[in-house]
A and B are shown apart, each in its own frame.
Chain A
Amino acid sequence: MSAILPPAERLWWKHPLDRVEGTWIAIAFVWCMVMFFMMVYWHVYGRQNLSTETYKTTPEQFSAKAQAMVDAYTVRTETSMQTPVVAPPAGSDIYMIARLWNFWPILELEKDQTYRLHLTSMDYNHGFSLQPANINIQVVPGYEHVVTVTPNQSGTYSVVCNEFCGIGHHMMVGRIYVK
């Protein structure tokens, strides 16, 4: 009755199981349940859960909203590209555009304040990879993803694109300051 021959008993589902198997199945089953309920538990008691708030959008609609924020709250510009640095009020809706090949604008946030961060892509898929915290979110064209964020440490954060988006992919970095 080797694994490459037909089993001797036709009714294989009546084949007895050894104690070692039964014990292991019970242990493994318990562990599987722990892992399943851990995800549920974290939604109730944990503080890091990815929002699922999503709207359909177009590049025009989204750019208009981002532009309005930039017009209202720009505090300075940085780099030779004159990228605006925007410091919107705590609790507000903030926007970050991902496009070939930059994140726009630069955001300046306050520590321990909560913001509604809107993300979308103008063209291909991009990746929002916040470093050095290492929080990674997919950015999909046509969809506006609203993520509520509460920075808990001040410093300079980079946003690295970590979804392949063409030949300039490795040039695509943005920035978020937390004060």
Chain B
Amino acid sequence: MASIYRTCPRSGLQFESNAEKLMIANAVAAVVFLLIGGILAIGVVLTRWPAVHWLEADTFYKVLTAHGIDMLIFWIIFFEIAVLYFCSSTLLRCRLATPKIAWLAFALMVIGAVVNNIAVYQGGSSVMMTSYVPMMAAPSFYLGLILFAVGALIGCFVFFGTLVVAKRDKTYQGSVPLVTFGAITACIIAVFTIVSGAIILIPTFLKSVGVIEHVDALVYRTIWWAFGHSSQQINVAAHISIWYAVAAIAFGAKPMSERVSRGAFLLYILFLQLASAHHLLADPGMSTEWKVVNTSYFMYFAVLASMIHGLTIPGAMEVAQRQKGYDKGLFEWLRRAPWGNPVFAGVFISLIGFGFLGGISGVMMGTEQLNMIIHNTIYVPGHFHATVVVGTTLSFMALTFYLIPVLFRREMINPKLAQWQPWLFGLSMYFFCLVMMGAGTLGVSRRHWDMAFAGNALAYEWPGAAYLMMGLVGIAGLGAIIGGAIYIWITVGSLLWGKRLDAGRESREPTPIPPTAPTLAVQSYGSLGFAAPGTFVLAIIFLVSFVLYYFINWKYLSTLWGLS
């Protein structure tokens, strides 16, 4: 598989032929699973909307199992593998290491995903994506997940190998770019994650075929979450890298300080894994000290890291805009941002929603005592649709819009519609998350087919507000599904029917990245000697909302039954 390098005339990025094909294959597979997951979302949301209550119970649980897995695992991880190849081969301008093995990884992932999906649709594996033992699924359910995980793990090693190739071929000088650094963070976490997944899924698979008698329920939960939670940390590291990349692409923004941003990524590697404990706060067995130290990422150091990225990314955009002359007042830089560009708009909507909705709710839920007032309520999916949909999925969508002309070499069909997509998808998702959290605050359960408990003598009657909220979940969910459908329509349509674009200059040798000329450190524009005063004001607004919401929940907790 000889390498040919082309330099994209639209972006200046250099693509190596093998890496390019693999990125396309992985991204397309991702979009296919997003499509399946999105169709399943229709069933989920129209059943949880009490006035509609569409599917039968067994179909609902089946569809919900598939929705969770197809979205959270298959859509996201296929796309992440494409991002890893992009951040290594493309950003470092080198060939992809071992393309044949990368294709093997891809094949394993596809086979695993298909096998798992078939197992779920056959019924008998409606165990939800968490598949807590002793409830058992068909062996092929676990086998599919294991094959997929092995494929993904191989993909991670191809990424590491590619970093070595770049270093050896000297295609860049000095340190890797910040975005690649973020991708390395994601990949390191991924290796840890997948190994945890293997440790628990392999014995469970063996139990399902009768080789092993017993897998302990609590041990399963503990190790499963080392996999299930850490995989969310891969997503965070990946989409934050994309935010930095888009800030650079849309504004030519430089990181305000390489030290701060990279230091924050290092904090992720050091502390993120601990947080899987926050899934076990309502469980028996673990000691209080263990819960407190782990759920807080050892004193909230990973939260600190996210708060840092939340400032430095918009901060870098602000500095770049002010340098271009949009320097009036606190917010001219933001008013004059390219809101009509779906790549920028998607990322900005993602960043704000991830921080305000996903971040604040996540830290609240992850507080040892406060967890008791939301555990397993529909608040939890409300929270993680803010992280994994508004945060990760919307960022991936925005990046796709950038890649359509650059990587896929197609003119985007219907660019007007694309301008609206992040707004429709993002804002209806904001609302969706808020009303789910509202319903969860009232106690409504997650993964629950019938909140009316029809026919049950002991039925509990939820307050009217809970029904109202769940109805709004239905409406907002449909809005988001339409937004998702537009994304798929534009992406697939552009791939099939978009005008072909010029590939650019090709050569047999990579052109190394020229050394970067040193620039002045960020100067101070704005006031107070702050380079980014507008962002600072936004950050303070964020902090105030955070503090208020956090203490409101403590206040509520203090009114409850005494527990000790």
Binding site for B on A (CB under 8 A): 1-10, 12-21, 23-25, 27-29, 31-33, 35-36, 38-40, 42-43, 46-52, 54, 78-81, 114, 119, 123-125, 127, 129-138, 140-145, 147-153, 158, 160-167, 169-171, 173-175
Contact = CB atoms under 8 A, between A and B. Distances in A.
B69 interface: no
Contacts of A19: 524, 528-531
A167 B448 contact: no
B539 interface: yes
Nearest to A21: B260
Contacts of A10: 173-175
B360 to A, nearest CB: 11
B301 interface: yes
B532 interface: yes
27 contacts: A3-B244, A3-B261, A4-B178, A4-B248, A13-B262, A20-B311, A24-B308, A24-B539, A25-B308, A36-B296, A48-B372, A124-B132, A129-B377, A134-B373, A134-B442, A136-B282, A136-B374, A137-B282, A140-B221, A142-B218, A145-B284, A152-B561, A162-B376, A164-B127, A164-B128, A173-B459, A175-B458
Contacts of B127: 164
B71 interface: no
A159 B271 CA distance: 36
B61 interface: yes
A169 B372 CA distance: 20
A173 to B, nearest CB: 5
Given A20-B536, A123-B134, A131-B460, 19 more contacts: A1-B519, A3-B179, A4-B249, A6-B174, A8-B518, A15-B521, A18-B522, A24-B536, A32-B300, A36-B296, A36-B300, A48-B561, A127-B445, A129-B443, A134-B442, A148-B562, A152-B560, A158-B458, A163-B447
Nearest to B252: A2
Contact of B61 (A42, A52, A129, A167): A167
B253 A133 contact: no
Contacts of B562: 47-48, 114, 148-150, 152
Given A7-B177, A132-B463, A21 B311 contact: yes
The 5 A-B pairs with the shortest beta carbon distances in the complex, nearest first, are A150-B562, A145-B284, A158-B460, A32-B300, A162-B445
A47 B217 contact: no
Interface in B141-194: 172-179
Interface residues of B, number: 122
Interface in B274-321: 280-288, 291-292, 296, 299-301, 303-304, 307-308, 311-312, 315-316
Contacts of A138: 280, 282-284, 375-376
A131 B177 contact: no
A135 B174 contact: no
B221 A49 contact: no
Contacts of B478: none
Contacts of A131: 443, 460, 462
Nearest to A142: B217
Contact of B257 (A21, A39, A43): A21
Given A24-B536, A31-B546, A42-B369, A164 B61 contact: yes
Given A48-B563, A138-B284, A3 B375 contact: no
Contacts, number: 338
A144 B284 contact: yes
Is the contact region of chain B dominated by helix, strand, or loop, or is it mixed? loop
B405 interface: no
Contact of B218 (A43, A119, A140): A140
Interface stretch (B227-235, B449-457, B480-488): B449-457
Nearest to B280: A138
A42 to B, nearest CB: 5
Interface string B492-523: 00000000000000000000010111110110
Interface stretch (B75-83, B96-104, B105-113, B550-558): B550-558
Contact of A49 (B178, B369, B518, B522): B369
A24 to B, nearest CB: 5
B443 to A, nearest CB: 4
Interface in B295-349: 296, 299-301, 303-304, 307-308, 311-312, 315-316
A167 to B, nearest CB: 6
B253 A2 contact: yes
Contact of A125 (B135, B254, B304, B519): B135
B95 to A, nearest CB: 18
B256 A17 contact: yes
Contacts of B374: 134, 136
B564 interface: yes
Contact of A25 (B287, B304, B561): B304
B312 to A, nearest CB: 6
A31 B561 contact: no
Nearest to B526: A20
Given A18-B522, A21-B311, A173-B460, A143 B285 contact: yes
Contacts of A54: 284-285
Nearest to A43: B288
B135 A133 contact: no
A62 to B, nearest CB: 13
A143 B219 CA distance: 11
A147 B563 CA distance: 7
A35 B549 CA distance: 12
Given A140-B221, A150-B562, A2 B254 contact: yes
B91 A47 contact: no
Contacts of B415: none
B29 interface: no
A137 B127 CA distance: 20
Contact of A129 (B216, B280, B376, B524): B376
Contacts of B286: 52
A98 to B, nearest CB: 12
Contacts of B258: 1, 7, 9, 12-13, 15
Nearest to A53: B284
B213 interface: no
B357 to A, nearest CB: 18
B376 A127 contact: yes
Given A143-B217, A150-B562, A152-B561, A52 B285 contact: yes
B530 A20 contact: yes
Nearest to B214: A142
B263 interface: yes
Contacts of A161: 445
A170 B449 contact: yes
Nearest to A31: B543
A32 B299 contact: yes
Given A20-B535, A142-B216, A162-B376, A170 B177 contact: no
